[in-house]
Chain A
Amino acid sequence: MSFKYPVVMPKMSMTMETGELINFHVKVGDQVKSGDVLFEVMTDKIDMEVEAPADGVIESLVVAPGAVVEIGKPVLIMLTETEVMAFDFGDDDQPVAGVEVATPAPRVEANAVAAAPIIVNTNVKAVPKARVEAANRGIDLRTVNPTGPDRTITMQDVNGAQLDPAIVKRQAANKALIAKGIEMTRAIAQASFNRQVTAHFDHASFIAAWAKVLRGRPDLAAHEHIGVALIIESKYGSALPVFRDPDQASLDDLRALVASTTDAAKNGKVPVAMLSGATTTVFDLTTYSMSSATPLLFPNQITSVTIGYDSQSSKNISLTIDLNFCDFYDGALLLDALVASL
């Protein structure tokens, strides 16, 4: 199966909004390898070669040399064997239209895109170690054909199990991303994602929206509640008051609480009860005129978000996830859902 992947005009500087296509290094039908130069672009500051993000074939050239292209708009379309992660999670056979790639349709139901596993066995019986092994390897035991006595799954069944194709696809996509230079170690494995948003929001509505997104993914939750820590700077240092289950309060109440807590924090007086129970952290960098930063993961949290300044009308949202608990796909989905719900 091949996937359509649009190669877009990259953003190469803070001020860049468009780029001019100088020339193509490939033509339709060319076989390219990841890293091959596809085309050259010129901006107000630099000229740059854009490389293929994966192996594939050039399907079409969207614009002609000399064209001025907005950042994020496609320059050419590639067909790839592995799915290259982008923020459009359309169905595989849905054609990728240029405009839709740049401003994808929001997808709030994050789980909806996971492919249905091939279930062969709804009443799973498995030996204890098979359950342990399946959990470790991410195998859904319902997809494993039981060959043991009384249709029980044995170790041999688990060892010979084919991974769910949806998982295989995700792993291939992850591999492609890792090949693009994301470093992972066993102890620290995190990935960060950025998106621009033009929506207007304040801290309360942002916190509520983020909590709601996380609530839609109970599989990623280590706690029964959602606690959003908001970093507030003051002359006393940083305070991290935690807003518990903010998506379940009325927005007016939450706004009042965020306002009063922010005032209290600036006076160094956050209620002690609000200083624990964080499951995620939000840091607003706009007051520092910072456009983006890689959000830091705090202990026992698997997500962290920053809000950065982009322009009068837009912000940069950055998300870091802990890859020990979720994968790139989850991270992309979470950020997609957050942006869509703002």
Chain B
Amino acid sequence: MLTMAEAVREAMSIAFDERPEVFLLGEDVGIYGGAFGVSGDMYHRYGAERVLDTPIAELGIVGAAVGAALSGMRPIVEIQFSDFTAQAMDQIANQAAKIHFMLGGALHVPMVLRTPQGSGTGAAAQHSQNLEPWFASVPGLKVVVPSNPADAKGLLLAAIDDPNPVIFLEHKLLYKIPGRDPVPEGATRIPLGVSKVVREGKDLTIVATGIMVNKSYEVAEKLAAEGISITLIDPRTISPLDMQPVFESVEKTGRLLVVQEGPAQAGFINEVIAQMAGSSSFGSLIAPIKRLAGMNIPIPYAPQLEKAAVPQIEDIESAAREIVKNWR
């Protein structure tokens, strides 16, 4: 069973083998094998021409990738921590996302920006954020948040194929974890913009992103023994967002719990709530929609506080149990 770091490496390797124009650049992706070991031995297998170690200069890294993409290459950028994308935001939001549209579709920017995010590593406030709403609020960017190795592989291959920029956000704690399902052999793509129904149940619909999918899955399995049956939906791509399975599920369960690690305020998951509230499935709700998200604070350094700042399995479990128990 591959871990998510291995699955991402395998997808990049397949793309390297398929297309000579694919290359990887970033800080320490070469000889060191990546800050989290994702690129691993790729430097040795593909050489310094295709696995480029860059200086510590995020704006320059992304700018170089945008330029390469415009001239026919397919760069994969790795930003060591997603927090550092702030340095490169002009190239991401104002250049990469806009060029295709501002030039009437004449040019494409086939670039993938991979970056680890999330808390739980004791790395404090500047290395632990979940910044997916930054990217999801910029039209022109596609945003992928994989929750397991199999999806990460298929989605990354599709992201590399995509003719315009894709932001690929990998949770650090998932890197070392094998998935529940084995990673398929070969180069099968998972299309962007298709939600996945992870498991089906009749009492409650949970929509969760990234690492929260795993936590919610554990809760669903546990509560199944108590007779609470849960549908779990992983949007996988948060922009574009596929809400149809969510509507269909809520029409059956009548209850919706949404879970994300990032702060509640202006978080991505609020988009799911907004679309539900405005849909014709609204009339199927038999309970108020419940949101679990991170606290509106910078991630604390103290391990207990870091844990308390974002939803944990026990939080999801009690929220799920309460919503089903209180709203019948």
Report whether B285 and A127 are in contact in the complex, using a CB–CB cutoff of 8 Å: yes
Interchain CB contact under 8 A, A149 and B254: no
Is A154 engaged at the interface, CB distance under 8 Å to the other chain? Answer: yes
- CB-CB nearest in chain A for B288: A127
The reply to whether B326 and A128 form a contact with Cβ atoms under 8 Å apart is: no
Q: Tell me the residues in window 117-151 of chain A with beta carbons closer than 8 Å to chain B beta carbons.
A: 127-132, 148-149
Which applies to chain A's interface (DSSP): helix, strand, loop or mixed? helix
Total contacting residues, chain B, CB less than 8 A: 11
Closest chain-A Cβ to B273's Cβ sits at a distance in Å of: 13
Residue of B254, B282, B288 near A155 (CB, 8 A) is: B254
- In the complex, per-residue mask of B282-297: 1 if CB is within 8 Å of any chain A CB, else 0: 1111111000000000
B282 touches which of A128, A148, A152 (Cβ 8 Å): A128
**In the bound complex, do residue B328 and residue A156 qualify as a contact, i.e. CB atoms below 8 Å apart?**
yes
Query: Which A residues lie at the B interface, using CB under 8 A?
Result: 127-132, 148-149, 152, 154-156
Besides the contacts A128-B286, A132-B283, A148-B326, what 9 more A-B pairs have beta carbons closer than 8 Å?
A127-B285, A127-B288, A128-B284, A129-B286, A149-B326, A152-B288, A155-B254, A155-B327, A155-B328
Please give me the 3 A-B residue pairs with the lowest Cβ-Cβ distance, nearest first.
A156-B328, A128-B285, A155-B286
Task: Please tell me if the beta carbons of B328 and A129 are within 8 angstroms of each other in the complex.
Answer: no
Taking the closest CB of chain A, its distance from the CB of B322, in whole angstroms, is 9
Output the least CB separation between A69 and chain B (Å): 56
Q: Tell me which of B282, B283, B327 contacts A154 (CB under 8 A).
A: B327
Are A130 and B326 closer than 8 Å at their CB atoms? no
CA distance A137 to B65 in the complex (A): 62
- Given A127-B288, A129-B254, A155-B254, CB of A148 within 8 Å of CB of B283: no
- Bound together, the chains give a CA A152 to CA B287 distance in angstroms of 10
Residues of chain B with a CB closer than 8 A to A132's CB: 283
Sample 7 A-B pairs with CB under 8 A, ordered by A number: A128-B283, A128-B286, A129-B284, A131-B283, A148-B326, A155-B327, A156-B328
Residues on B with beta carbons closer than 8 Å to the beta carbon of A148: 326-327
Q: Which residues of A contact B254 (CB under 8 A)?
A: 129, 155
**Among A127, A149, A152: residue with most chain B CB under 10 A:** A127
A-facing residues in B275-322 (Cβ within 8 Å): 282-288
Per the bound structure, the CA–CA distance linking A155 and B288 in Å amounts to: 12
**B283 neighbours in A (Cβ, 8 Å):** 128-129, 131-132
Q: Which residue of B lies closest to A157 (CB)?
A: B328
A127 proximity list for chain B (CB < 8 A): 285-288, 327
CB-CB nearest in chain A for B254: A129
Residues in chain A near residue B282, CB distance under 8 A: 128
Query: How many angstroms between the C-alpha atoms of A127 and B326 in the bound complex?
Result: 12
A155 to chain B, nearest CB (A): 5
Q: How far is the CB of B239 from chain A (nearest CB, A)?
A: 27
Q: How far is the CA of A127 from the CA of B255 in the complex (A)?
A: 10
Task: Please report the C-alpha to C-alpha distance between residue A155 and residue B327 in the assembled complex, in whole angstroms.
Answer: 7
Contacts of A155 in B (CB 8 A): 254, 286, 327-328
